[in-house]
Structure 1
Amino acid sequence: MTNPISYKRHRFPSQIIAHAVWLNFRFPLSLRLAEEMLLERGIVVSYETIRRWGRKFGSDYARRLRRKQPSPNDVWHLDEVVISIAGKKHWLWRAVDQDGYVLDEIVQSRRNTKAAKRLLTRLMRKQGMAPKRIITDKLPSYGAARRQVMPTVEHRSHKGLNNRAENSHLPLRKRERMMQGFRSLGGLQRFTSVFSAVKNLFVPPHPHRSALATYLHRLQAMAAWKAAAGVLA
């Protein structure tokens, strides 16, 4: 059983801390804009404090959020995107399923078979089963890694089929611009793990839902977020 999150020795109530972390990871806001939004509600807190709260509590919240159950009929879409940190290129490898749900992502310094194999190995460990199919671009490293990790799984390699994975990078790209880049590999990995968990929770899996269904989904997501943060009334 997961131990409750402790807010001891924090001047602000847990509800305010959880709300500030939610603003930080849910919306493409700079920390200064999040600070301003809290000020509008009469909460005087610095952007640096919001950053520290996100770093301290974000990962704990994300671990407590319910994850989507894997299925042997899942289709994994894999892709990698370059991110520069201190003038040096790094690669964020990401996997999403057929609904756009982020399954995993890992920051690596290489774009080769070893890096692709590490992503597939992590996915197999986390999901507990192989997918029905994987879809990638034409990077040869995916095929080589797939033959080593999951040789019986169907692999389709075609740039036009992988729009789902490529589009999954867009929200992080927006945040990267707002934050004016990331400062370290560890900071990028921590941020993306929480950012994607929040996105998985709040973004409806079917964009053409009715307004009522979307509204109910948001209410359920907010209740799940508060439960994860331990701030339910």
Structure 2
Amino acid sequence: MRNWCDRFGAQFARRAKAVRGKACSTWHLDEVFVKLRGEPYVLCRAVDEHGTELDVLLQKRRDNAAAKRFFRKVLRSHPVPQKIVTDQLRSYPAAKAEVPEPAGVKNLLVKASTRVNNRAEKSHQPTRRRERQMQGFRDPRRTQAFLSRFGPIRQHFALPRHQMKAACHRAELQARLLAWQCWAGVSSLGILQ
């Protein structure tokens, strides 16, 4: 499975990102601690206002330089947002002031009790689930590569089922499976084209 992910994962993730369109005007930034062989690492994640994962970055530290690195990585592939919602971590406003692109963006620092940054908090759940299934992550480089591919592919198939009728859900899922088969070069019979 790991060899398959290394060989085809990046290509599928690029295609899934291209299909979903451009990001919304509000970003939610959050971080979560992940242990890799007993050492703590910080997994930074950016999602848009609809919960679509924009990017992830696994880092050793949680300081101003790490926040700047994360801003630059996200801005390479997405346009500058109108508003950034973060928790009360002080490194985000400091890094935003030093990186030229988002310097004029409105930054909304939220308290943990207001639940404004709940989109980013909820986006960590699939990663935690996958971490349990894989019995923990081990190597930082492989973890970064896996998570940056896992997010777009998972979101390609994750539909808001509670907001759709059953017939609409089946039709949309069928369309996404056909797109996946097209990317993989597999016909509906399972034969390589």
* TM-score of the two chains, using structure 2 as the length reference: 0.87
**What does the per-residue CA deviation read over 1:104-151, in whole Å, with 9 as the maximum and x for residues that have no partner?**
011111101111111111121101x21111101100011111122212
Give the match for residue 109 of structure 2: 157
In structure 1, how many angstroms separate the alpha carbons of the residues matched to 2:4 and 2:116? 39
In structure 1, how many angstroms separate the alpha carbons of the residues matched to 2:25 and 2:166? 27
Larger radius of gyration: 1
Residue 102 (str. 1) matches residue 53 (str. 2): yes
- 1:22-33 correspondence to structure 2 within 5 Å: none
Give the match for residue 21 of structure 1: none
Letter in 2 for 1:81: V
Give the match for residue 87 of structure 2: 137
Offset of residue 55 of structure 1: 2.3
- Does the residue aligned with 2:117 lie in a helix, a strand or coil? helix
TM-aligned CA distance change 1:178 to 1:77, over 3 Å: same
* Contact 1:176–1:182 (CA under 8 A) maintained in structure 2: yes
Between the two proteins, what is the percent identity of the paired residues? 38
* Contact 1:92–1:108 (CA under 8 A) maintained in structure 2: yes
Offset of residue 67 of structure 1: 4.1
TM-aligned CA distance change 1:135 to 1:205, over 3 Å: farther
- Does the residue aligned with 1:81 lie in a helix, a strand or coil? strand
In structure 1, how many angstroms separate the alpha carbons of the residues matched to 2:172 and 2:88? 36
TM-aligned CA distance change 1:139 to 1:171, over 3 Å: same
Deviating more after overlay: 98-107 vs 117-126: 117-126
User: RMSD of aligned C-alpha atoms?
Assistant: 1.6
TM-aligned CA distance change 1:205 to 1:144, over 3 Å: farther
How many positions carry a matched residue from both structures?
Answer: 182
Letter in 1 for 2:145: R
Deviating more after overlay: 98-107 vs 198-207: 198-207
Residue 113 (str. 1) matches residue 64 (str. 2): yes
* TM-score of the two chains, using structure 1 as the length reference: 0.73
